[in-house]
Structure 1
Amino acid sequence: MKEQSLLGQSTNFLSVLDKVSRLAPINRPVLIIGERGTGKELIARRLHYLSKRWDKPLININCATLSEGVVDSELFGHEAGSFTGAKGRHQGRFERAEGGTLFLDELATAPLFVQEKLLRVIEYGEYERVGGTRSLDCDVRLICATNANLPELAQKGEFRADLLDRLAFDVLLLPPLRERQQDIPLLAEHFAMKMCQELGYELFAGFSEKCHQSLLSYPWPGNVRELKNVVERAIYQNPDPSNPIEELVFNPFANHAEPKIEVKESHWSLPLDYKEWQQQQDTQMLNQALTEAQHNQKRAAQLLGLSYHQFRGMLRKYKMV
């Protein structure tokens, strides 16, 4: 995802961007919390390029993609002979990010002994390569991201509470797309026009009303990344680019014989109480999912494309549990 995905005009999204602008010049660690697909890496890039370190390296590492032994070496480097196969000195991510910013994604997956080393870097500005005996000075701003509940993990002893204290100088909570209703049409049209350009279409004919309502009513468990896929898929599958999009495929893994998710065209009597209407729609949807799943909440969550915790959160929101 590129910088272009940081689009939006909803109040909660703009407040995050405003906070990023105020945090960027302050040389302190920042913790970014958000669901998958909400743009955590994009926010980290924005923090870096708005900071005084903008002309220095921005180095990324995803802790979840590396094994326990490798993440230590990748972060801090290693000396020749420090372990089997270590034929030469390896420069770690901290060393490569010197003077700049290091972005650690999926922080919650970092082993506890690595967390202890991160704590030392933040507190004392120094670290040692794996197999090394000499401390190296470190001038790197640390930005970390996760979709996990770190305070809860810290209470369970699965994440170092002292590291959480050091990292949480301030926390950026990224709103999920379902809480940015105002931004969904804006983002959908943006992705659609970019896809039309890529395919050489002269114009984007728009979305039909039923597709527009589908975009607004879908819960978007994959957030902006998922929206981009759905829109781009619809553009290339549209049989006549001169006509508006009539169908959206939200789950490309589903049996093609299944009916596609659609919302029938409706007309409402205005004015109306939108919050009350939205609550009625959500409650009806939750009850239908529970009925079809025979009140198995995990299965009901799957029917709606939600995680179990997201589904439970909606039940609590509407006092259904």
Structure 2
Amino acid sequence: MRALVCHDYGPIEGLKIEDAPTPAPKAGEILIRVGAAGVSFAAMLGVEGKHQNKPTLPYIPGNELAGHIMALGPGVDRLKVGDRIATGVPQGGFAEYAVATAANAVRIPDRMPYAEATNFPTLYPTAYGALRWKANLQPGEVLLVHGAGGGSGLTGIEVGKAMGAIVIASAGGADKLAAAREAGADHLIDYHREDLRAKVLELTDGRGADVIYDPVGGSAFDVSLRCVAPEGRIIPMGFASGTIPQIPANILLVKNVTVIGFYYGYWTGWGGRKVPGPKDAAALERRRAMVAAAQDDLMRWFTEGKLLAKVAATFDLADWIKAFNLIQNRTVVGKAVLVP
């Protein structure tokens, strides 16, 4: 099969298109003909050797994919050959075929293209889990979303609106803010031209944002601490700026602020031990049940038109450098996608 292979950690230019063996599904797994695979900041960090999870080299990158099932491994009875699905994988997405854990696959509507479906393995459920399970976002609360033009930011806006929040979108540039407006943002802030803190306080009558969804980190997080409302919640769920912020605990104390960590891989069993013990296995099944219920809501919201699943651009696998450059240069508006 055709695949994009990483032999050594380093720049994304070092990847190579190769002919690789088609994988076979093991117990509890499915074999997928990949229709589209999402290009993400996390995948780029993995290739560079900077992600917390480092696959054994050589490996095929790619963590978010959509396609149809070609074969079932032993013990899989919830799905069938031919089902159109979206799923996340720890590796292997940038290829014509990939194997995935059947328990993490979600069926997608017939009207959902594979490229758009790559938003659902990680981006949408991350926003859902962070905002509902962790931050307990309530209707009428103010949600500030940083990096609002990228895939993470846009999905955060849409999920927040679906939950009834008033959404302030922060991004740099007119094109990104236009996408944020299309996604449903109530207020737009161009941080290149406006004072982000002052604008948030102006829009909230001096109170600040109740919840802040931050895939950027760096200076954006520093500003968040200065414009979050009392008893507000800040979710640092990515560091696209390249800078991991340090948190001054005195500000948390004075403003009664909660900073919430959320790593979606934990909820689907991507991290930790490969074979969990009985107690951990039971907890993982409970988390996966929560993910399944969340995906039901997300698919319903998509069919209702509340989620746009915006795709920035689609590239052939051989054009991976162009796709990753959108991520590296922070010019992506929506989701960049590779088609094997």
Shorter-chain TM-score above 0.5: no
Larger radius of gyration: 1
Q: TM-score, normalised by structure 2?
A: 0.30
Higher strand share: 2
